[in-house]
Chains A and B, each alone.
Chain A
């Protein structure tokens, strides 16, 4: 599914990622944890193709294709979805119109005809029920005036609409109360299949009570310094990140 080899990334000449290696297989859920400033969000942005960052070395291969050569919209259409840490507001653009454009672009990429208005609205209804989000949210402009929790739910709704092969959820739990957290996690779990994969980026173990990972990685100072099963998350929760820092001589 996804293979990252020796990935080095800089911003303004400063190296943030210093040789990341990561393999994600179909159906797997990976959690990437780590202290603030470790490079977690940078990794998510680089996967999605944000061009603020410069890839100086290494490769990212997704389903046999070199991702680094692709425009962000092409990566999206190939099946990479980024759940934003801070979803962007687009005033005046209705969620319906936004999603219709996005869904039809994905369909075009697959050689399918655009959905009719009624089929599209039915799809929206189904997915809204699936992820349990309030109908009213989709009648408004994209993320405009949404609370932090509403924005995150809207990310999961969009993910449900686009059915990605690989979902990268960047700090989806930040700023969520426990109810919103449950809604978001349930959404992710319902959308899970044997074919698609999820990378959950988080600072806290809390989210992993709901979304149970197959593999947990610890990202520290631009490198993955530890990889283990789900028990690693619990250990981190108990001991904090200090022991990681000590082990790595900082």
Chain B
């Protein structure tokens, strides 16, 4: 394809619009900008939290003050002024919600636009949803049906009120408050999120889903997800995110902690579509996320599947600690960057238990002037016998102004470990596009076909409805792209 033609098509990419960029006009209850011990006390008080929560927050905050923002990632981020952020903002609503009719119609309209089935009438989808807008959970569906099985699925705030013992037992056990800069910040100021508890021997009858939305201006979103799976249980959990288009950058720093006990299995799927900023790189979400699970029990399993197309900056390394003997973990990821987006993302697998297995399949797609890095760690501890890992990191480049990088780290402490790493970088070939053209397929459709083919291995790991959404998202994110 001729150079000018390529450039033209590349330019067209940047004109594809972010369709979730609307703002919902609702009244917010916020606490003003800035961060201090007083602010943290205020958040805790607003949420009517027990004493242990406030202590947890203050401990995290005091530790955070001693920390510096990490600079090792392959990202260029301007300094963030933490005093210029509103750390708590919630849609104002009256009293407690008993039915869908009580939800603010503006909020319902928002989630209708996003295609989230808040309405319990839409039972067909068979997905229980918890929706978090800005800092607080708006509504959890199917709570009743789940309760019959003993499954707890509710907002984090509700869990703090209704199941404080469980929260106290598990919160911060996988990601300690001092873990890293953003984890400490989240632990200090997090306002809501989701809590999932699957009792022993229960197979959760439906997929659980949380939908995160940043709406208010100047607001940071700091949510926390805690999933506990008792022995012999199973759950599939989905997470989706969007935000309005705004010229200033907004901060999102989340924590996900997952505890998987004997023979239990968790599937955690994410479709991340935070606003990526405009085509000149203005605005967009800074996404700093600490996601970690522990396969605590024997033969436990944890699978991560994610499609990431959003955010101006993504800093995220879903990790698994393989503690139980025979436990296993898989990580499947597609990360798309376009325009001026930057991503430094990957996975960590820490092998402690004997005969533990891990798989990492990472597919990066870079277009525009974006930068897309894979960073991953496979660690086998000294006393871990028979560990196995397979990692595959592929990068696909569209155009010649983007970059892809791979930073694999291997720390192998035991000779019995078998660790494999494969990496490839490819461009969509002109000859592939011409071949499609010759069969009557336009260049744009050809790229859609090829990109989806490239990402198929990962998308196939996602639950059906999510996979369809992910495919559409890939096509939209790269609309008009390349040659």
Check if A and B associate.
yes
Q: A residues near B, CB below 8 A?
A: 48-51, 71-73, 76-77, 81-82, 84, 87-94, 97-99, 101-102, 105-106, 109, 141, 158, 162
The 8 Å CB contact of A109, one of B440, B452, B456, is: B440
Task: Give Cα A106–Cα B441 distance, bound, in whole angstroms.
Answer: 9
Q: B15 an interface residue at 8 Å Cβ cutoff?
A: no
Question: Are A72 and B438 interface neighbours, CB within 8 A?
Answer: yes
Would you give the shortest CB distance from B337 to chain A, in whole angstroms? 20
0/1 per residue, B1-33, Cβ < 8 Å to A? 110010000000000000000000000000000
Question: Are B449 and A162 interface neighbours, CB within 8 A?
Answer: no
**Given A91-B454, A93-B453, CB of A105 within 8 Å of CB of B440:** yes
Question: Are A51 and B2 interface neighbours, CB within 8 A?
Answer: yes
Question: Are A162 and B439 interface neighbours, CB within 8 A?
Answer: yes
Q: What are the 9 A-B residue pairs with the smallest beta carbon separation, nearest first?
A: A92-B453, A93-B453, A72-B437, A102-B439, A88-B435, A76-B440, A105-B440, A73-B437, A77-B440
Would you give the shortest CB distance from A76 to chain B, in whole angstroms? 4
Question: Are A141 and B440 interface neighbours, CB within 8 A?
Answer: no
**Given A84-B435, A90-B432, CB of A102 within 8 Å of CB of B457:** no
Majority-rule SS of B interface residues: helix
26 chain-A/chain-B pairs, Cβ below 8 angstroms: A48-B438, A49-B437, A49-B438, A50-B434, A72-B434, A72-B437, A72-B438, A84-B438, A88-B429, A88-B431, A90-B435, A92-B450, A92-B453, A93-B453, A94-B453, A97-B453, A98-B436, A98-B449, A99-B439, A101-B441, A102-B440, A105-B441, A105-B442, A105-B445, A109-B440, A162-B439
Instruction: Using CB atoms, name the residue of chain A closest to B1.
Output: A51
Chain B residues with CB under 8 A of A49: 437-438
Would you give the shortest CB distance from A79 to chain B, in whole angstroms? 10
The 8 Å CB contact of A97, one of B5, B432, B438, B449, is: B449
Chain B residues with CB under 8 A of A162: 439-440
**Given A92-B453, A101-B449, CB of A82 within 8 Å of CB of B438:** yes
Would you give the shortest CB distance from B317 to chain A, in whole angstroms? 25
Would you give the shortest CB distance from B467 to chain A, in whole angstroms? 14
0/1 per residue, B197-226, Cβ < 8 Å to A? 000000000000000000000000000000
Given contacts A72-B437, A73-B443, A91-B453, 16 further A-B contacts (CB under 8 A): A48-B434, A51-B5, A76-B439, A76-B440, A84-B438, A87-B435, A90-B449, A92-B453, A92-B455, A93-B452, A94-B453, A101-B449, A102-B439, A102-B441, A105-B439, A162-B440
Would you give the shortest CB distance from A120 to chain B, in whole angstroms? 15
Task: Give Cα A92–Cα B456 distance, bound, in whole angstroms.
Answer: 7
Would you give the shortest CB distance from A115 to chain B, in whole angstroms? 14
Chain A residues with CB under 8 A of B450: 90, 92-93
Task: Give Cα A120–Cα B455 distance, bound, in whole angstroms.
Answer: 25
Chain A residues with CB under 8 A of B438: 48-49, 72-73, 76, 81-82, 84
Would you give the shortest CB distance from A155 to chain B, in whole angstroms? 10
Chain A residues with CB under 8 A of B441: 73, 98, 101-102, 105
Task: Give Cα A50–Cα B435 distance, bound, in whole angstroms.
Answer: 10
Chain A residues with CB under 8 A of B436: 73, 90, 98, 102
Would you give the shortest CB distance from A15 to chain B, in whole angstroms? 20
**Which B432-483 residues have a C-beta within 8 angstroms of A?**
432, 434-443, 445, 449-450, 452-457
Instruction: Using CB atoms, name the residue of chain B closest to A103.
Output: B440
Instruction: Using CB atoms, name the residue of chain B closest to A52.
Output: B430
Question: Are A98 and B432 interface neighbours, CB within 8 A?
Answer: no
The 8 Å CB contact of A98, one of B5, B437, B439, is: B439
Would you give the shortest CB distance from B47 to chain A, in whole angstroms? 47
Task: Give Cα A95–Cα B439 distance, bound, in whole angstroms.
Answer: 12
Question: Are A106 and B453 interface neighbours, CB within 8 A?
Answer: no
Task: Give Cα A101–Cα B436 distance, bound, in whole angstroms.
Answer: 10
Task: Give Cα A101–Cα B435 distance, bound, in whole angstroms.
Answer: 13
Task: Give the one of B434, B438, B440 with max A CB within 10 A.
Answer: B440
Task: Give Cα A196–Cα B442 distance, bound, in whole angstroms.
Answer: 24
